[in-house]
Amino acid sequence: MTSTHSNDMIRNKDNLKGLCLYEVQFKEAIYNWKLLLVINPQLPKDAFWFLPHDNENTAFDAALYATQKYGGGFLSVVSQDKRLHQNQDPNRNFSSSQTKEISCKAQKYASNLYTKIIFTIIETYKKESYPFLALHSNENSWRGAGGKGSVSILHSSKYVHSYPAYKNVSSSSTGLKDEDSLIYIAGLSKTPDLKILKSLLSKGIHVKYEIVNQMNNDCSMSNYVVLHKSHSSYYNIEVEHGALKTQKIMIDKLMTHIQEISSY
């Protein structure tokens, strides 16, 4: 059980009925971490989602939808509705090293305990054959093009390549066509797995592919999975804040994709 009563829980009082809630607390370095674990008792081992940012209400609401519909559950960082926890980004804090990772500029201290606890929980409830899953919601558009966010299918970089599912995507596009509605995948190779890419694009989902190596490791969950869980894959669903309907649609499409990929 949990004594936590976050705004996410208060807002979703009715949606949490029938689910099992647990509070996870531990201390590492200067941080007092608090996590909320939510499980569907009818089907406790299935798709499992990680939510690192407590200011992303849409992601939390979408995780509840996924848990109620598909089973499994999710693990959410509790940090008083803030993106950062004591000035540390929870999604830049994954490392098994006994010291701070040199390449991880956003990591403040070594985080092997944080990493061990979170991945132990995820791997306890995640169906073994399933990928690692994450949910995020962010500001509108890319800040480099007049927007406020850091994620957009219209923007690519040296290590992050964009694969739009539609032609003529613009800052005014909405729903699945929205530049902020996309799925991140990651890997060691310079190009994504074409089977995975084609499957997602055929479902009308924009895809961003992150090329990961030890030199550009940023201690995010995606980088940790690629570098340390090579037998597994990773999917992160991103939408603009408030686009709950779109994120639910993307969850349904991703679950179909996972079933199809596993049957190939």
pLDDT of residue 217: 97
pLDDT of residue 218: 97
pLDDT of residue 32: 98
pLDDT of residue 264: 61
pLDDT of residue 262: 82
Sequence ranges of the domains in the chain:
7-263
202-257 pLDDT per residue, tens: 999 999 999 999 999 999 999 999 999 987 899 999 999 999 999 999 999 999 99
120-152 pLDDT per residue, tens: 999 999 999 999 999 999 987 655 545 456 799
Q: What percent of the chain has pLDDT over 90?
A: 86
pLDDT of residue 232: 85
22-76 pLDDT per residue, tens: 999 999 999 999 999 999 999 999 999 999 999 999 999 999 999 999 999 999 9
How far is 144 from 260, CA to CA, in rounded Å? 36
In which band, very low, low, confident or very high, does the pLDDT at 4 lie, cut at 50, 70 and 90? Answer: low
Number of Cβ within a 10 Å radius of residue 163? 19
pLDDT of residue 2: 63
Please say whether the structural domain 7-263 has been given the CATH code 3.40.91: no
Nearest to 77 by CA among 104, 48, 61, 55: 55
Contacts of 40 (CB under 8 A, 6+ apart): 18, 19, 20, 46, 67, 68, 71, 72, 73
The continuous run of DSSP H or E covering 257 comes out as: helix 244-263
